[in-house]
Structure 1
Amino acid sequence: MTVETFQVTEEFAGERIDKALSAMQPEWSRTQVGNWATEGIVLVNGNVVKAKQKVKAGDVIEVTVPEPEPLDVIPEAMDLEIVYEDADVLVVNKPRGMVVHPAPGHLTGTLVNGLMHHCTDLSGINGIMRPGIVHRIDKDTSGLLMVAKNDVAHESLVNQLVNKTVTRVYTALVHGHIAHEKGTIDAPIGRDQKDRQKQAVVDKGKHAVTHFRVLERIGGSFTLVECRLETGRTHQIRVHMNYIGFPLAGDPKYGPRKTVDFDGQVLHAGVLGFEHPTTGEYLEFSAPIPEDYAALLQQIRLENA
C-alpha cells in the first residue's frame, strides 16, 4: 500500500471529499474514493471521513491506496497479424473491436492474451496486466501497435514517445466539409468534468497537438483526413476533431450517434515508425485500412455522388 497526501486549495474549498479528491487525482473516480472513505482509508486532518463531507482550504487529506488485486492473464491462441518481430520489439496490426489489455469486464480475448500465447518474452515494466504494452489504441480503433519484448526496449520506446520522435499517422472519417487542406490543433486535453468517462479540451489539461490534412472530401457531408500525432493523449484525435467541429463518424462518445453503419469510430492507425531500441535504425511500418472501413467509404461515396 502507498499513502498519498494532498492539501486542499481554495479551488476545492467547500467541495465534497469524493469530488475534490477525484478532481485532484483524475485517475480516481468519485465512486472509488467513496468506497475508500467507507473502508476508512481516507483521512482529513487525521480523521476518518465520509465521502459526502466537505473540505476546507488548508485541510490535509491522506489516502492509503490499496494495492490492486492481481489478476491472472490467460494466454490465448489467436490469429494475430504480426507485421514485424525480432528479439526486442514486435509490431502488430490490431483489429477493430479488440481490447488491448485485460481489465475488469475484459479479462479474456484481449491483445495481451494473444501476445502471451504468441511469445513469453514481454517486458514487465507495466505490470502483469499490460506486459509489453508501450502505448494503446482504443478498442474500436484498428491499426499498428509497437510491443516491447524486454525492459530495455520498453524504456527506449517510451522515451521516444516522450521525446515525440515516434511517427503515428491515422486515417479518420469525420463529419462535415473541411474547406482548408491542412491544419494543426494545439489544445490541452484532460478529463471532462461533466462526464468522467470522456476527455475534453480543458484549460488545465495536458499539452496535446494533432496535425491533419485532407485526403478526400465526400459530398458535403464527410471528409477523409490523415491525422499525425505529435503527442498521445487519451482519445486525442477523437477529442481534437470534435473540438474543431468535425467529429469522427461512428464515434459513440464524441460524435453524433448512428450516422453510419459502423460499430465504433472510423479510425485506423495506419503508419507507425520508431528507432530500433538496439540498432538505432529507424523502422517504419504501414497497414492499409481494413476491408470494412474501405467498404464503408465506398458506400458513402456512392450515396454522396
Structure 2
Amino acid sequence: MNDLEKDQIDSSAEDSEQFLTFTITNEDRETYKRFDQYLAEKVEGYSRTFLKNLFLKDQITLSEDSPVQAKIELKKMPPAGAIVQVEVPPLLPSTALPENIPLEILYEDEHLVFVNKPAGLVTHPAPGNYTGTLVNAILYHCKDIQGIGDQKRPGIVHRLDKGTSGVMVIAKTQACHEGLVLLFSTHDIERYYEALVMRYKCQSYGTIESNIGRDPNNRLKMKTGTTRGKPAITNYKVLELFDKHVHMEFKLETGRTHQIRVHTSEILRMPIIGDSTYGSPNEQMMKLGADYKEIIDGYPYPFLHAKVLGLVHPITKEKLRFEVPPPPLFQKVLEYSKKKNEDAAQ
C-alpha cells in the first residue's frame, strides 16, 4: 500500500474503525529510537508500511486528552507522557478477486493504465463494497497485476470517491507503482476537476488555503480548522454563472481527502450539487426549482468530475495528459443551464 491509498477507505469502512491509545513512557523512549518501530510493536497485525499510511492520512495523532503536545514524527519518539491515538481500519479480505467489469481505457502500456472511472464505482474493496470495485475490474483486465503495491489494492496509487467520476491511473509494475507514488506524494502531477456548485458569492477565481483533517464530531467527514489537519491548497475558477448555481473548475496543489468538497462547502459556502455529506440535496432541489428537480432527482452522487490527469511517465519519462468529459447527466444539466441563460438574455 502507498501513502495515498488511505484516502481510500470508503465511508462505509470507517464505521468499523477501532481507536487504540498509547501513553509514551520513558522506558518506551529508551527501548525505541523511532516512533514507527514503536508502532510496529504496539499495533499488532499491521506492517510498518500500513502504519506509515495511517500516519500520512492523519489517523495517528495525539489524543485530545494528551497532557503533552508535540509534533509527531515517524523518525523519532514522542515525548514521555504523550498520549497517541491510532485509528485502525478493519482488516479487508487478503486478496481481491478479478471481475469482468467493463472499463473505459484511455491509455495503456506495459507499465500503467489510465481509465475513466464512472460515478458509482468504488475504487477498491472495503467493508460494504468487497466486490464490484475498480480493483476487481483491473485484476480481470490485467492478469498479472496482483500484488503490485499491495495485494488488497493492487496497482492503486490514488483514489476518487465513489461518487466522483474521471481520470485515474493504475500501476501495472512495482517500479511504476513506486514512481507514481512519488509523483503523487510530491504533487508533481496535473489535476483539474470541474463541478456544479450552489451559487452564493465568490470571486471569479482564487486560491483556497487551509488545513483539512478528520472532523472530531463526525468521523465520516473532513473539516477545515482542525488542529491536526494537513495543509490543503485548491485553486478555483468560475467557468460560467447561472441563476442559482455555478460551473467551476478546480486545480489541486495538494490531495487531501474530500478536499474540493470541504473547500467549496466550508470556505466558499457553496456546496457541490448532490453532495449529501457536505450539503443538503433536498434543500438544493428546492432552491434550484422543479425543472432541475425533474432532471436531477434521484441521482445519488455529487456533480464532481476529475477531468484532467497529467504526469510524466515514471519509466519512459513521456509526458502523459488525459482529459475526459463529465458524465451524461452532468452534461445534460450544464446544457440545460446554458440554454436558460441564453433564453434569459434574449
Q: Into which bin does the TM-score normalised by the smaller protein fall?
A: 0.7 to 0.9
Find the counterpart in structure 2 of residue 83 from structure 1. 106
Matched, 1:74 2:97: yes
Find the counterpart in structure 2 of residue 224 from structure 1. 247
Shift of 1:301: 4.3
Over 3 Å counting, the alpha-carbon distance change for 1:147 and 1:213 in structure 2 is same
> 1 CA distance for matches of 2:83 and 2:236?
45
Find the counterpart in structure 2 of residue 109 from structure 1. 132
Find the counterpart in structure 1 of residue 37 from structure 2. none
Secondary structure, counterpart of 1:207 in structure 2: strand
> 2 CA distance for matches of 1:112 and 1:265?
22
Normalised by the length of structure 2, the TM-score is: 0.69
Shift of 1:298: 2.8
Decide which of 280, 292, 303 is 1:266's aligned counterpart: 303
Shift of 1:203: 3.2
Over 3 Å counting, the alpha-carbon distance change for 1:205 and 1:26 in structure 2 is closer
Secondary structure, counterpart of 1:208 in structure 2: strand
Matched, 1:180 2:193: no
**AA in 2 matched with 1:213:** K
Over 3 Å counting, the alpha-carbon distance change for 1:69 and 1:110 in structure 2 is closer
**AA in 1 matched with 2:227:** D
Matched, 1:278 2:315: yes
Find the counterpart in structure 2 of residue 211 from structure 1. 235
Find the counterpart in structure 1 of residue 158 from structure 2. 135
> 1 CA distance for matches of 2:83 and 2:230?
26
What do the CA deviations read for 1:14-60 (whole angstroms, capped 9, x no partner)? xxxxxxxx9xx9538xxxxxxxxxxxxxxxxxxxxxxxxxxxx9387
Find the counterpart in structure 2 of residue 236 from structure 1. 259
Q: Is the 8 A contact 1:124 1:150 kept in 2?
A: no
**AA in 2 matched with 1:218:** F
Over 3 Å counting, the alpha-carbon distance change for 1:86 and 1:177 in structure 2 is same
Find the counterpart in structure 1 of residue 276 from structure 2. 252
Secondary structure, counterpart of 1:114 in structure 2: helix
> 1 CA distance for matches of 2:121 and 2:84?
39
Q: Is the 8 A contact 1:123 1:151 kept in 2?
A: no
Over 3 Å counting, the alpha-carbon distance change for 1:62 and 1:294 in structure 2 is closer
Normalised by the length of structure 1, the TM-score is: 0.77
Secondary structure, counterpart of 1:137 in structure 2: coil
Find the counterpart in structure 2 of residue 294 from structure 1. 331
Q: Give the structure with the larger helix fraction.
A: 2
Shift of 1:199: 0.4
Secondary structure, counterpart of 2:91 in structure 1: coil
> 1 CA distance for matches of 2:319 and 2:85?
46
> 1 CA distance for matches of 2:157 and 2:205?
29
Over 3 Å counting, the alpha-carbon distance change for 1:178 and 1:60 in structure 2 is closer
What do the CA deviations read for 1:212-244 (whole angstroms, capped 9, x no partner)? 11100011x111110011110110100011122
What are the equivalent positions in structure 2 for 1:5-84 lying under 5 Å apart? 5-7=22-24, 27=59, 58=81, 68=91, 70-84=93-107
Secondary structure, counterpart of 2:231 in structure 1: coil
Which shifted more, 206-215 or 174-183? 174-183
Matched, 1:119 2:142: yes
> 2 CA distance for matches of 1:267 and 1:59?
40
What do the CA deviations read for 1:216-275 (whole angstroms, capped 9, x no partner)? 0011x1111100111101101000111221111110100122324232110000000011
> 1 CA distance for matches of 2:101 and 2:172?
18
Q: Is the 8 A contact 1:164 1:231 kept in 2?
A: yes
> 2 CA distance for matches of 1:286 and 1:6?
49
Find the counterpart in structure 1 of residue 177 from structure 2. 154
Shift of 1:121: 3.0
Q: What stretches of structure 2 of length at least 5 have no aligned partner?
A: 1-19, 26-53, 61-79, 286-295
Relative contact order (alpha carbons < 8 A, sep ≥ 6): 1 or 2 greater? 2
Instruction: Indicate the RMSD between aligned Cα atoms, in angstroms.
Output: 2.9
Over 3 Å counting, the alpha-carbon distance change for 1:131 and 1:66 in structure 2 is closer
> 1 CA distance for matches of 2:335 and 2:255?
30
Over 3 Å counting, the alpha-carbon distance change for 1:179 and 1:116 in structure 2 is same
Q: Is the 8 A contact 1:95 1:142 kept in 2?
A: yes
Q: What stretches of structure 1 of length at least 5 have no aligned partner?
A: 9-21, 29-56
